[in-house]
């Protein structure tokens, strides 16, 4: 059964295991999430849970339909709402889900919004080699030729060109949970996780 | 940042107080695993830098081995560092002693730091007492 949780990326650090090996880790705060809606096969055609994460600071900033929904279900308003492909019949609307659903050494998939790099060139965006820096070269970080001549007489669709880079949904698979600190809702995930610090991430175990 | 430091504090495998300073000559007892056997290797040299990086805090030890300068960086909170013995306290006026890399022989030596002796006031008082007694005897 797959399980998921929403949380935020806090930052990177190192984890020193008992035998002295050092593992690069990302410190993530996962949960506590509150079940806001249960989607069932009978009603919606598929089963999923809608999670809410983090408290809203001001009631006036909440969209009215959301606020009435929260009030009807008697849940304090949440800032981040997300649907996850995780279904557990024992979880009712309003119940809290914590990072204790995960175990150490479990393989996880992390989804987040990558860091925005703005309008980036091809060297940064696609890893083009670029030209010589010196020796009279005037060709430094330019993309070079973007196609042939009479044929095809056009630029192929999908040609890698400069443009907006980052700020897109990125999924990283096969990361490992190194350590869980349940009382702090902190999970250490080996390696890097997409996004900047304090960005919202979804962690899934298949 | 605070959360990272808090988590790091909780996860430190060895809580070690640093008993040395930059400039000190130290003996680092480092655990080495050979197959199933574990032994301790001693590395001796001058501490030329201490880098504060939270849980990844390290110190650099420099020595001259067969006329070749060798620098080794040890993580302070690693369980592989069994212990650190201070052999000689060195007098250093800066935090990073990278200038030692350019020096050889005697110029690469640091002056020893002498710890001021604590003057025992009571000892002095007892001495004057004895002299007073001597005076009385006279």
Is B7 close to A181, i.e. CB distance below 8 A? yes
Give the model's pLDDT for residue B138. Answer: 46
- Interface-testing mutation among B7, B9, B77, with chain A (most A C-beta atoms within 10 A): B7
Write the CB contacts of A20 (distance below 8 Å, at least 6 apart in sequence). B31, B78, B79, B80
What is the value of ipTM here, to two decimals?
A: 0.74
Task: Report the percentage of chain B scoring pLDDT > 70.
Answer: 81
- The H-assigned helical ranges of B12-138 are 121-137
Give the model's pLDDT for residue B123. Answer: 58
Residue contacts between A and B (CB atoms, under 8 Å): 47
Q: How many CB atoms lie within 10 A of CB B80?
A: 19
Which chain A residue is nearest to residue B33, measuring alpha carbons? A19
What is the Cα–Cα distance from A181 to B135, expressed in whole angstroms?
Answer: 74
Residue by residue, pLDDT tens for chain B (138 residues) are: 688 888 888 888 777 778 888 999 999 999 998 888 999 999 999 999 999 888 889 999 999 999 899 999 999 998 899 889 998 888 888 999 999 998 888 777 777 777 666 666 665 555 455 444 545 554
- Please tell me the pTM assigned to this model: 0.79
Rg of the Cα trace of chain A? 23
Is A184 close to B7, i.e. CB distance below 8 A? yes
Is A22 close to B78, i.e. CB distance below 8 A? yes
Q: Domain limits of chain A?
A: 117-165
What is the Cα–Cα distance from A63 to A71, expressed in whole angstroms?
Answer: 12
**Two tokens, residue B76:** 């302070």
- Interface-testing mutation among A20, A184, A186, with chain B (most B C-beta atoms within 10 A): A20
Give the model's pLDDT for residue A52. Answer: 93
Residue A184 Rama label (left phi>0; alpha psi -120 to 50; beta) = alpha
Interface residue ranges in chain B relative to chain A, Cβ cutoff 8 Å: 1, 3-4, 6-8, 10-13, 31, 54-56, 75, 77-80
A16 in contact with B, Cβ within 8 Å: yes
What is the Cα–Cα distance from A138 to B68, expressed in whole angstroms?
Answer: 44
Q: Which residues of B touch A17 (CB under 8 A)?
A: 13
Low-confidence ranges of chain A (pLDDT < 50): none
Closest listed residue to residue A125, CA positions, set A157, A170, A160, A172: A160
Is B56 close to A188, i.e. CB distance below 8 A? no
Cis omega (within 30 of 0) on the bond before B5?
Answer: no
What is the Cα–Cα distance from B78 to B59, expressed in whole angstroms?
Answer: 12
The alpha carbon of residue A206 and the mean position of all alpha carbons in its chain are separated, in whole angstroms, by 16
Q: What is the 8-class DSSP label of residue B108?
A: G
Q: Which residues of B touch A11 (CB under 8 A)?
A: 1, 3-4
Give the model's pLDDT for residue A90. Answer: 82
A22 in contact with B, Cβ within 8 Å: yes
Q: Which residues of B touch A27 (CB under 8 A)?
A: 3-4, 7
Which chain A residue is nearest to residue B79, measuring alpha carbons? A20
**Two tokens, residue B26:** 């130290």
Q: Domain limits of chain B?
A: 2-113
Q: Which residues of A touch B13 (CB under 8 A)?
A: 16-18
CATH number of B2-113: 2.30.30.790
Is B4 close to A27, i.e. CB distance below 8 A? yes
**Two tokens, residue B103:** 């020096």
Is B4 close to A13, i.e. CB distance below 8 A? yes
Q: Which residues of A touch B56 (CB under 8 A)?
A: 13-14, 22
């Amino acid at each position: 059964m797959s399980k998921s949780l929403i949380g935020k990326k806090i930052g990177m650090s190192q984890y020193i295991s008992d035998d002295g090996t050092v593992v690069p880790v990302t410190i993530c705060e996962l949960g506590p999430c509150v079940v806001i809606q249960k989607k069932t096969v009978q009603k919606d055609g598929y089963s999923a849970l809608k999670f809410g994460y983090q408290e809203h600071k001001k009631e006036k900033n909440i969209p009215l339909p959301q606020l009435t929904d929260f009030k009807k279900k008697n849940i304090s308003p949440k800032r981040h709402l997300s649907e996850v492909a995780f279904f557990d019949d024992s979880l009712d609307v309003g119940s809290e889900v914590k990072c204790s659903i995960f175990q150490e050494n479990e393989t996880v998939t992390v989804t987040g919004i990558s860091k925005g790099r703005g309008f980036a060139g091809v060297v940064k965006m696609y890893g083009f080699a670029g030209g010589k820096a010196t020796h009279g070269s005037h060709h430094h970080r330019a993309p070079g030729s973007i196609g042939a001549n009479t044929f095809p007489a056009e630029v192929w669709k999908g040609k890698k060109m400069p443009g907006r880079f980052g700020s897109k949904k990125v999924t990283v698979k096969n990361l490992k949970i190194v350590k869980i600190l349940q009382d702090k809702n902190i999970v250490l995930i080996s390696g890097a996780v997409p996004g900047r610090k304090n960005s919202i991430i979804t962690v899934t175990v298949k | 940042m605070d959360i990272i430091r808090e988590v790091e504090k909780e996860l430190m495998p060895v809580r070690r107080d640093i008993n040395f300073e930059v400039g000190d000559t130290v003996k680092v007892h480092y655990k080495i695993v050979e197959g199933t056997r574990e032994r301790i290797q001693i590395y001796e040299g001058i501490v030329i830098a201490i880098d504060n990086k939270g849980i990844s805090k390290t110190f650099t030890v420099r020595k001259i081995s067969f006329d070749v300068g060798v620098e080794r960086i040890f993580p302070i909170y690693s369980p592989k560092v069994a212990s650190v013995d201070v052999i000689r306290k060195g007098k250093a006026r800066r935090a990073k002693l990278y200038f030692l890399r350019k020096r050889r022989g005697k110029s690469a030596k640091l002056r020893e730091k002498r710890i001021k002796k604590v003057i025992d006031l009571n000892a002095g008082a007892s001495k004057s007492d004895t002299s007073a007694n001597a005076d009385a005897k006279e």
